[in-house]
Amino acid sequence: MNNKQYGTITTDAQGFGRMVLEVGTGTDITNLFRKAMIDAAEASNDALVFNHETQKARRISADEIPEEMLPAMETAVDVTLDPVMALINRSHEIKPKDLEMSDIKWKYLIRSAVRGKNIMMVGPAGCGKTQAAKSLPEATGRPFFYFNLGATQDPRSTLIGNTHFKDGQTSFDESAFVKAIKTENAVILLDELSRAHPEAWNILMPVLDEGQRYLRLDEDVNSPTIHVASGVSFIATANIGTEYTSTRVIDRALMDRFEIIEVDILTLEREEALLKYRYGKQVSAALIHSVADIADATRKEWRSEEGKLTTMVSTRMTVRVCELLADGFTLAEASEVAIIPFFDASGGSDSERTFVKQIIQKHIATVEKDIFSVGTESDTVEQMPF
């Protein structure tokens, strides 16, 4: 064995841990070096060398690697031996079977995460943004943290922490978010970012900025600065559109900190395939087709410039309907509780709710009463067969 082993830093097979590979052979020699030395070498783009005679390791520039080893080094960093590239290229293999997301967008999601990018998933409510975001850490084995910013009433407490006064002493309890950003290679989901309080956006600005990546704990007496750990990836979800009245227009400076991934609304065929995969053993194919067709009809109307609907039946809603069908509800009963309440009843026979009832009606074989009787809201519900 040569008295000296030269190594370069790369990422492990899962795409999130650092390792040192020997130049020329590609052998893992990480155990020869201290973590602090690996960190320093990575930060300065240096190589590493371990001298077996002196039992000492040190950082060196790439130029100090012996020339006779350079051809072998070129082979060692071939794409086929780069674990990060390998993970990106086999992303389709780790994609969950029940995730209805195009392969190219899933690949982009995986790539953005393993490269430590911030990702924003945008699309209508119920189209699968949160599910896609949660699938990422499951597929890659990364630590996962979830924060629903839409339900946050006190951004500073949620993102920074709380100061307590007891017995004349001041103490500070850091938030779960602080613990999350200190976890290497973590995937942190910022759900419903478009519903968050503007103060939350202000706090997140330096955290998400590639050139800063820190959080100042202003609530603490000493106001320490916490730097985001290496490999951390933030994923935000946002409902963007005029129908979301409780959302805010996200600041452009904040938007620019993210890679944007649009989550598609499913076609009839993809919706049906998803529902069959999940509920095909419990719900008949005919019923599943009806649910998917009802959703597809509302989506086409919603997309139309002169459409009668301001919202649509989402994938979240079709899943809820199939869950009820699996529990013995009829299509009429499941539609009454899982679809109808989401559509406006104002306008009587010309309302959105009536229009959706007409769509559903086409899929119900036997009807005992007319669902389009006009009266009070309570009367209408009583007269509905579903």
Exposed, middle or buried by CB within 10 Å (0-12, 13-18, 19+), for 317?
A: buried
The kind and range of the H/E element at 35 are: helix 35-43
Tokens of 11: 């990422």
Angstrom distance (rounded) from CA 114 to CA 201: 24
Residues 135-153 pLDDT 10s:
988 888 889 999 998 877 7
Higher pLDDT, 105 or 19: 105
Is the predicted pLDDT of residue 78 greater than 80, yes or no? Answer: no
Please answer whether residues 293 and 271 qualify as being in contact, where contact means their C-beta atoms are separated by less than 8 angstroms. Answer: no
Q: Where are the beta strands (DSSP E) in the chain?
A: 4-11, 18-22, 47-51, 56-60, 119-122, 144-148, 161-166, 169-174, 187-191, 214-216, 225-227, 233-238, 259-262
Residues 47-64 pLDDT 10s:
899 998 888 999 998 778
Is the predicted pLDDT of residue 91 greater than 90, yes or no? Answer: no
Exposed, middle or buried by CB within 10 Å (0-12, 13-18, 19+), for 188?
A: buried
Find the range with the poorest average confidence among 77-81, 105-109, 154-158.
77-81
Residue 11 pLDDT level (bands cut at 50, 70, 90):
low
Residue the block writes with tokens 């410039």: 305
Q: What is the 3-state secondary structure (H, E, C) of 79-128?
A: HHHCHHHHHHHCHHHCCCCCCCCCHHHHHHHHHHHHCCCCEEEECCCCCC
How much of the chain exceeds pLDDT 70, in percent? 84
Please answer whether residues 143 and 17 qualify as being in contact, where contact means their C-beta atoms are separated by less than 8 angstroms. Answer: no
- CA 75 to centroid of chain Cα atoms: 35
Residue 298 pLDDT level (bands cut at 50, 70, 90):
very high
Residue the block writes with tokens 């949620």: 158
Angstrom distance (rounded) from CA 211 to CA 333: 54
Residues 154-202 pLDDT 10s:
888 889 888 777 677 777 788 899 999 999 999 999 998 888 888 889 8
Angstrom distance (rounded) from CA 176 to CA 181: 9
Residue the block writes with tokens 């904040």: 254
Nearest C-alpha neighbor of 156 from the set 215, 208, 210 = 215
Task: Give Cβ neighbours of residue 156 (< 8 Å, ≥ 6 apart).
Answer: 199, 203, 218, 219
What pTM did the predictor assign? 0.64
Amino acid at 59: R
